[in-house]
Chains A and B, each alone.
Chain A
C-alpha cells in the first residue's frame, strides 16, 4: 500500500473541524432567527464534510492518468454546465449571481467545478506543449483563448471572485511552466495601458477606484461588510472576546458563517486564532509545493501546484478582503466558510493532490 501525505491530510481535517466549530459559533443566532434551528448550517456543513471525506478516499484510488485522459471531456462538461446555469429556470439566482444549480436548500456552483476542470486541462496542456511554451503564438495563445471563454462565461453570472481566482491561478501555472518573463511584462503593460486609457477618457473613474478601495467612502453600500468586519476584528483586542461571545454576529455582520467567517474567528479568538488559520493554510501549501517539487512528471507537478495554489490564492483573497486590504470580491475561505459546493471542490482538490502524493 502506498502512503499518502498524512500531515497534509490531517491539517486539512483540522481546518475543516475548526471551521465547523466556528460555523456553529458564528451562525447559531442567525440560523435560529432565519430557520428556527441554530444547528441548521453546522449540520449541513458536517454532512458535506462526510461526503467530502468519502470523496477524498475515492479520489486517492484514482490514478492521476485518469485526469490526463479525461481532461478535455471534463472541460467540455463544465463548459456545458456554465452555459446551462446562465439560462433562467435552470440556474437560480443567489446573492445577485445566477451561478447556482439549486437542489432544495443545497446548491452546486458549476463555476467552482470548472475551476478544477480548467486546472487539469491547463496542467495537461502545459505538459503536452512543453516545447512550444516559449512561443506566445503557438504555445500560450490557444490556451489563453480557452481560458477567456470560461472567464467571460463566469463573469456573465456574474461571479467576479471565482473568475479572478481561476484566471490568476492559471496565469501563475503558466508562469511556473517557464515562458520568458517578458511575456508577463507584456500582459501587465497591456493591462496597465488599458486602465490608463479608461481613466484618461473619463477622469472620474480614478475617484471611483479610490472610493472603491476605501470602504469608509460608502459605509452603507459597498463598504458595509468590510466596516462590519473591522468592527469585529478591532474592538475585541489581541486576545479576542472568547469563543461564542462575538457581538458582530448578532445581526451586524450579515451571514457571518460565509465569506466573513474569518472576522468572527478573529473577534472571538483574537490574534492567536488568526495565526492558527493562516499557519495551517501556509503549512498546507508548503506540503503541496513540496510534493510538486519532488514530482518529476510535468502533468502531476503542474496539477498539484495548480490545485494547491488555487486554494491558497482563494484563502489569501478572502483574508485580504476581511482585513480591509482590498474591496469585497465574494470569495469564501476554503475549508472554513459555510458552503457545500465550496467545501466539496476544495476537498476534491485535496483528494487529487493526495492521490498524486502517494509514494511507493
Chain B
C-alpha cells in the first residue's frame, strides 16, 4: 500500500516535469516565432550602429558654372559613451580643447545613448582642433567628416543666395526656397557592433550619401561683381541710406545681376540684423519711381499714336494746371517750346502730363496694368513686394497727371525693369527669373528648367523701336548724358523720386535712379541703379545714378566683349564737354594726304615708308579731339 503511493508519486513527479519541459519548449517556440518581430527589432537597434555620412548640399552656380555656394569639409565629434572608460578625464580634456563648459561636456560623455553627436560644441571643427582631439587617443571618440556651407564671394549676391543654419538647412533666399532640392540624403556606415561598440567584421553596409541637386542661376558673376564694386564705391562716395542695382536680359527676363546695399555676408549671417538680411531691395523696396516711369507713358502714347514725337509740339511754361492743382516742371521757368521728343529728352513733367491726358485714364491705366505694375512680377525669389497702385476708380485727373510722370504710385525696381524690358525688347513682357535650371551633379541630368515666360505682348515691335530711339536720344542729347559711352549705343532714362514720409514729401531726400540699356538698337542688357538719399551731391538721377550705370555698362562691354556699334547717335555737346570726332579711314593714303585728313587728331608714325598700311583705332570709331592715331607705314 505504502509502496504503491511512493511509486505513483514518483511517476507523478516525472510526468509533471515532463509537462514542464514541454512548456519550456513551447515557450521557446513562442519567443522565436510570435515575439520574433518585436525582439528582433529591439535587438537590431542594440546591435546596429549607424555612423552618419553627410551628403553634400547641392551647389549654387552662376550661368557659366562659376561656383557661388559650395561646401567645405569640416569635422564633427561623435562620442560612443559606453566605450569611454574615464568619463571625468575625457570630459575635462574635451572641454579644454573645445573651450566649453565642463558640465555640458560631461553630459555628452555620460549620455545613455549608443552614439552622441557633440552638438553644438563639437560641430564643424577646424583641422587643428580635430587633430588635437585625435591626439588624445581616447577610445569612444570619433571624428566624422561633415560638410559646411561656404560662399566664396562672401557678401556678393547674398540676398539672392540666402544662408543656411548649422545643420545646413536653408534659412533664407534660394537656400530656403530650394531647400528640398539642395538637401541631399545622408548616407551612413551601418555595421553590427559588439557590446563594447566595436565593429563585428561580419557585415558592414555602406549607404552612399545622395548629394543635393545643383542650382544654376541666370546670374553672371562677373557682371554681378562689377555691380557690387560700383555699389561699394557708391556707398563710400555718397553714404546713401540704401542703394540697389539690377542687370537683366530684356529678351528673356533673366536676371544677370542683382545687388543691395546694405548687404550681408552669407558665411557670417549671425553678425547682421535680420532686416538687412531679409530685405532684398531690388524686389522688396517700393517707392515712387519718378521719371523712369515716364518710359511707360511714352510707350503707351506711341502705341496709341496719341502723339507724334517729331511733329507734335508742346510749350512748357514751367508748370501745368490740372483741376486747380499746379504741377511744376523740375526746371524753373520751363523748357519753352518743345517737340515731344524733346519733352522726353528733357524729362519735362508738364509735357508728360499732357501725354497722359491725351491717353485718357482708362487707356493709361490699362498700359500701367499691362506693363505689370499692378501685381508682383512673379520672380522666383522670396520677399517680393507688390507696390501700391491706385484702384482704377480712384484715379481722378490729378492722379492721372501724376502717374504720367511717375508720382503718386509706388513700384518695385523689379517691376520697373520688367516693364521697361517690355517697352524696349519689341513689346513683350517677360517674367523675371534667377534660376536657370537644376541639375544632378553626377549625371548632369536636368531636373527642372526655367524657360523665358512671356506674359503678354504689350506694344508692337514698331512702337518699341520708337521708344528705344527716343530713350537713346535721352542719353545722347537729354538728361541721361552722363551715361553716354563712346562708340556704343546706349538708351536710358533718369529718375529723381521724392520720398514720402507721414503722408507728405520729404525735403532734400530723394531716391535717384537711372534705367539704362545697351545696345540701344537691339537691347541685350538693362541696367537699373537706384540710390536712396545720396549725400554731398546734387540729388539728380542724371548726376548720381547715370554715371554708376555707365560704369556698370562699360564693365559689361569689356566682360562680354561687345563690339562697338557701327552707327552711333551722336551726342550733343556743350562748350564744357570734351568733343569726340570720327576717325577717318587712313589706310591706303599717303603720308601727305593723311596730314590733311587728320587735323583734329595727333598722328604717331611707325615705319619709314610713304603709304599707310595700318591704323589704330580703325576708321569709324570716335575718339577725343587731339587724341593719338597710330599709323604704320610700309
Interface residues of A (CB under 8 A from B): 29, 130, 172, 175-178, 230-231, 233-238, 245, 247-248, 250-252, 266, 270-271, 274-275, 278, 281-282, 285-286, 289, 292-293, 301, 305, 309, 312-313, 316, 319-320, 323-325
The answer to the question of B270 belonging to the interface, with a C-beta cut-off of 8 Å to chain A, is no
Cβ contact within 8 Å between A231 and B46? yes
A178/B5 contact (C-beta < 8 A), A172-B13, A289-B10, A292-B10 known: yes
Cβ contact within 8 Å between A316 and B43? no
Given contacts A178-B9, A231-B43, A324-B27, 7 further A-B contacts (CB under 8 A): A176-B13, A234-B35, A251-B194, A278-B21, A282-B17, A305-B13, A323-B24
Please pick, from A130, A248, A266, the residue contacting B28 in the complex, using a CB distance under 8 A.
A266
Cβ contact within 8 Å between A235 and B44? yes
Closest A residue to B202 by beta carbon equals: A245
Closest A residue to B3 by beta carbon equals: A296
The answer to the question of B29 belonging to the interface, with a C-beta cut-off of 8 Å to chain A, is yes
12 contacts between A and B (CB under 8 A): A29-B194, A178-B5, A230-B35, A234-B31, A248-B43, A270-B32, A278-B25, A282-B21, A289-B13, A293-B10, A325-B24, A325-B27
A-B contact count (CB 8 A): 108
Question: Which residues in A have their C-beta under 8 angstroms from that of B28?
Answer: 233, 266, 271, 274, 323
The answer to the question of B7 belonging to the interface, with a C-beta cut-off of 8 Å to chain A, is yes
Compute how far the CA of A327 lies from the CA of B21 in the bound complex, rounded to whole angstroms: 18
A320/B13 contact (C-beta < 8 A), A178-B6, A235-B40, A237-B36 known: no
The answer to the question of B104 belonging to the interface, with a C-beta cut-off of 8 Å to chain A, is no
Question: Which residues in B have their C-beta under 8 angstroms from that of A238?
Answer: 29, 32-33
Number of interface residues of B (CB under 8 A): 36
Compute how far the CA of A316 lies from the CA of B27 in the bound complex, rounded to whole angstroms: 13
Cβ contact within 8 Å between A309 and B13? yes
Please pick, from B14, B35, B196, the residue contacting A285 in the complex, using a CB distance under 8 A.
B14
The answer to the question of B337 belonging to the interface, with a C-beta cut-off of 8 Å to chain A, is no
Closest Cβ of chain A to B528, distance in Å, is 68
Question: Which residues in A have their C-beta under 8 angstroms from that of B595?
Answer: none
Determine the main DSSP class of B at the interface with A: helix
Question: Which residues in A have their C-beta under 8 angstroms from that of B33?
Answer: 238
Interface residues of B (CB under 8 A from A): 2, 5-7, 9-11, 13-14, 17-18, 20-21, 24-25, 27-29, 31-33, 35-36, 39-40, 42-44, 46-47, 192, 194-196, 200, 202
Compute how far the CA of A236 lies from the CA of B11 in the bound complex, rounded to whole angstroms: 36
Compute how far the CA of A320 lies from the CA of B42 in the bound complex, rounded to whole angstroms: 22
Compute how far the CA of A289 lies from the CA of B31 in the bound complex, rounded to whole angstroms: 31
Closest Cβ of chain B to A292, distance in Å, is 6
Question: Which residues in B have their C-beta under 8 angstroms from that of A309?
Answer: 13
Compute how far the CA of A28 lies from the CA of B20 in the bound complex, rounded to whole angstroms: 32
Question: Which residues in A have their C-beta under 8 angstroms from that of B7?
Answer: 293
Compute how far the CA of A270 lies from the CA of B20 in the bound complex, rounded to whole angstroms: 20
Question: Which residues in B have their C-beta under 8 angstroms from that of A175?
Answer: 9, 13
Compute how far the CA of A233 lies from the CA of B27 in the bound complex, rounded to whole angstroms: 11
Closest Cβ of chain A to B214, distance in Å, is 42
Please pick, from A235, A301, A324, the residue contacting B6 in the complex, using a CB distance under 8 A.
A301
Cβ contact within 8 Å between A237 and B32? yes
Q: Which 10 pairs show the lowest CB-CB distances between chains A and B?
A: A251-B195, A250-B194, A234-B39, A231-B43, A252-B195, A235-B40, A178-B5, A235-B43, A176-B9, A323-B27
Compute how far the CA of A309 lies from the CA of B42 in the bound complex, rounded to whole angstroms: 37
Please pick, from B18, B39, B44, the residue contacting A282 in the complex, using a CB distance under 8 A.
B18
Compute how far the CA of A161 lies from the CA of B254 in the bound complex, rounded to whole angstroms: 83
Closest Cβ of chain B to A114, distance in Å, is 22
